[in-house]
Structure 1
């Protein structure tokens, strides 16, 4: 399971023509060699390492994945190797790293039909076909980039109310979202959580403890910074639309 990086570079350029020309600072073209572990994506360098062993098993990861990808556990059980993809250097903007890495992963999948899935940041698992297609929008303008590749939104019940919690957002802003409502239906709740997620991805952790958010002047959703009571002390932006 070793990718031909020259082929990956060609596919990456074809899929993302908006990327800057792959050149070094001195103006000489960076030629991706077939066996090179590095590929340039825009202004960034990304490392791709082939690992001839399965990823460590995480029961929680695959249980979450099964809610939207029923075959995930079977796929995980039969895989025998994996690739580790990471951007060199630490970007000041996690969103930049996510966009770049997602694009490279999409190109890898397009050139390696044996790829069966992607585990993102050890928190989220997605089928390879879905990643290949959605990652075409890796560099789309806000809010149209494929944030649902990076973040799960999972429903739960809280007494007589319903809720939704994210998994994966903390890799970007240090907290997940836990939203409990007694007023919204599940689709509307998911829309609220998705909207807040992508806002935080774009702007960083700008919602402070005690702030209220809302789509209109009359909508007031209180946000508290706390450790979740329902999810083992997970640091969250705890949101509720209960009347104050």
Structure 2
């Protein structure tokens, strides 16, 4: 398997997908992507139960597992903010599929795009799909993945990075903050942004914009950098281990410059 961008597709009951049907639907959803099922050498199309699907020059593996995923209460607590039914899905699902790009050479964004496209086709093909856990950090409902994954090959910034990254609010004294979960799979750190100036919606927009920029360009923000569209929007970035979230490596962002 490739890296930390490994996805788990939760199933109401264990099933093995018809990968030839998945490949056809994947091509229908993404005509620009040459797709086919492949044998273990990636050379020839094979039967419907092949574990591999070719996406352009890459191979994505799909393995069906007849058991639920290990329980992670923290994951489902985070998911409950936007997906209240998630905890019930976590409790009652009976199987899952592991989906991952083979090899280690590709950029995380390429792996994320292709894996997301395949997951969308799996959900469209397999009615038993009920949720997706991405990189061990983010849980989303299957219907959201089905819709948003249509844009997995769209140009920056229109690909569905919000499937890959959660943005969660918190309080820091009199200030508000937002922390990402999932960005570290792309750039090794999460964003922790604390502000006394911005409303929560504006803070979320800032964090989302910076997340998408880092996913697209890689870790181009260095320790001590100052970023922002103008002098009035300057943001200071420091590398540190979070004091709020258990030593999590973060880009610690603040906008408390004095003018």
Establish whether TM, by shorter chain, passes 0.5. Answer: yes
1:31 aligns with 2:45: yes
CA shift, 1:29, in A, is 8.2
Listed as ranges, the matches of 1:175-190 within 5 Å are: 175-190=189-204
Tell me the distance in 1 between the aligned counterparts of 2:125 and 2:133.
18
Contact kept, 8 Å, 1:117 with 1:127, in 2: the verdict is: yes
Rate the CA distance shift 1:29–1:231 in 2: closer, same or farther, 3 A.
closer
Tell me the distance in 1 between the aligned counterparts of 2:242 and 2:211.
17
Contact kept, 8 Å, 1:32 with 1:38, in 2: the verdict is: no
Contact kept, 8 Å, 1:32 with 1:39, in 2: the verdict is: no
Listed as ranges, the matches of 1:177-216 within 5 Å are: 177-216=191-230
CA shift, 1:132, in A, is 0.6
Contact kept, 8 Å, 1:103 with 1:138, in 2: the verdict is: yes
1:243 aligns with 2:257: yes
**Unmatched tracts of structure 2, length 5 or more:** 1-14
- Counterpart in 1 of 2:247? 233
- Counterpart in 2 of 1:119? 133
Post-superposition Cα deviations, 1:216-240, rounded to whole Å, max 9, x if no partner, equal: 2432110000000011100000000
Tell me the distance in 1 between the aligned counterparts of 2:187 and 2:47.
36
Post-superposition Cα deviations, 1:50-89, rounded to whole Å, max 9, x if no partner, equal: 1111000000000000000000000110001000001110
Tell me the distance in 2 between the aligned counterparts of 1:200 and 1:224.
15
Tell me the distance in 2 between the aligned counterparts of 1:92 and 1:46.
12
Listed as ranges, the matches of 1:130-169 within 5 Å are: 130-169=144-183
CA shift, 1:30, in A, is 4.2
Q: How many pairs does the alignment contain?
A: 241
1:10 aligns with 2:24: yes
Per the normalisation by structure 1, the TM-score is 0.95
Post-superposition Cα deviations, 1:143-165, rounded to whole Å, max 9, x if no partner, equal: 00000000000000110000000
Per the normalisation by structure 2, the TM-score is 0.90
Residue 218 of structure 1 aligns to a residue in which SS?
helix
**Unmatched tracts of structure 1, length 5 or more:** none
1:78 aligns with 2:92: yes
Post-superposition Cα deviations, 1:12-71, rounded to whole Å, max 9, x if no partner, equal: 0000011136599xxx98425211001011221011001111000000000000000000
RCO comparison, higher one (Cα < 8 Å, 6+): 2
Rate the CA distance shift 1:32–1:141 in 2: closer, same or farther, 3 A.
farther
Tell me the distance in 1 between the aligned counterparts of 2:175 and 2:117.
39
